[in-house]
Amino acid sequence: LSTKQLSVQELAELDKKYFLHPTTAPKVHAEQGPKIMFSEGKGIYVKDMDGNSYIDGVSMLWNVNLGHGQKELAEAAKEQMEKLAYSSSFIGYSNEPAVRLAEKLVSLAPGDLNSVFYTSGGSESNDTAFKLARFYWELKGQPKKRKIIALENAYHGVTIAAQTATSIPNFHTFSSSNISDVFHAKPHLTNCELGDKSDPNYEGCIRDIVEKEGADSIAAVIMEPVQGSGGVYIPPDGYLQAVRKLCDEFGILFIADEVITGFGRTGLMFGSENWDVVPDFLCFAKGVTSGYAQLGGVLIRQHIRDTIVQYEGVLSHGFTYSGHATACAVALKNIELMERDNIVVNAKNMEQVLADGFEYLKGKYDIVTKTRAIGLLSAFELYEDPTTEKPFDVSVMAAAKVGEECFSRKLLIRPIRVGEGKNIIAIAPPLVINKQEIEQ
Chain positions contacting ligand PLP, by CB under 6 A: 61, 121-123, 126, 155-157, 224, 228-229, 257, 259-260, 285
Check residue 405 and report its DSSP letter. Answer: H
Cα→Cα distances 361→146, 299, 356, 369, Å: 46, 39, 9, 9
Question: What letters, b where the CB count within 10 A reaches 16 and e where it falls short, cover 291-305?
Answer: bbbbbbbbbbbeebb
Closest distance of CB 75 from ligand PLP, Å: 24
Given the complex with ligand PLP, which of 66 and 353 has the nearer CB atom?
66
Nearest approach, Cβ of residue 152 and ligand PLP (Å): 14
The contacts of residue 258 (CB under 8 Å, 6+ apart) are: 224, 225, 270, 271, 272, 282, 283, 284
Residue 114 CB, shortest distance to ligand PLP, in Å, is 22
Residue nearer to ligand PLP on the CB measure, 192 or 283: 283
The least distance separating ligand PLP from the CB of residue 428, rounded to whole angstroms, comes to: 10
156 vs 305 by CB, closer to ligand PLP: 156
> How far apart are CB 365 and ligand PLP at their closest, in Å?
28
Q: Which is nearer to ligand PLP, 101 or 368 (CB)?
A: 101
Instruction: State the Cα–Cα distance between residues 432 and 338, nearest whole angstrom.
Output: 9
Minimal distance, residue 216 CB to ligand PLP, in Å: 28
CB nearer to ligand PLP: pick between 202 and 321: 321
Q: Which is nearer to ligand PLP, 224 or 351 (CB)?
A: 224
Q: Which is nearer to ligand PLP, 210 or 288 (CB)?
A: 288
Inter-residue contact 416 to 424 (CB < 8 Å): yes
Closest contact distance (angstroms) between CB of 129 and ligand PLP is 11
Residue with nearest beta carbon to ligand PLP: 122
- 138-157 as b/e: b if 16+ CB within 10 A: beeeeeebbbbbbbebbbbb
Closer residue to ligand PLP, CB minimum distance, 129 or 246: 129
Give the nearest distance from C-beta 158 to ligand PLP in angstroms: 6
Question: How many whole angstroms separate alpha carbon 317 and alpha carbon 188?
Answer: 33
C-alpha 301/C-alpha 405 separation (Å) is 46
HSE (side-chain half, CA atoms, 13 Å) at 95: 22
Task: State whether residue 111 is helix, strand or coil.
Answer: coil
Least gap, CB of 228 to ligand PLP (angstroms) = 5
Query: By CB neighbour count within 10 A (0-12 exposed, 13-18 middle, 19+ buried), where does 361 fall?
Result: middle
Closest to ligand PLP by CB, 228 or 429: 228
Of 129 and 368, which has the nearer Cβ to ligand PLP? 129
Report the alpha-carbon distance of residue 319 to residue 334 in Å, rounded.
Answer: 22
Q: What is the C-alpha to C-alpha distance for residues 117 and 114, in angstroms, rounded to an integer?
A: 10
Nearer to ligand PLP, 155 or 202 (CB): 155
Handedness of CA 415, 291, 261, 439 (dihedral sign): negative
Instruction: Kindly state the smallest distance separating residue 321's Cβ from ligand PLP, in Å.
Output: 12
CA–CA separation, 134 vs 61, rounded Å?
30
Q: Tell me the CA end-to-end span of the chain in Å, nearest whole number.
A: 40
Beta carbon nearer to ligand PLP, 73 or 368: 73
Cβ-proximal residues to 129 (8 Å cutoff; 6+ apart), any chain = 220, 222, 255, 281, 283, 298
Q: How far apart are CB 174 and ligand PLP at their closest, in Å?
A: 14
Contact by Cβ (8 Å): 225, 193: no
Query: Per DSSP, what are the bridge partners of residue 48?
Result: 38
What minimum distance in Å lies between the beta carbon of 411 and ligand PLP? 20
Separation CA 93–CA 320 (nearest Å): 12
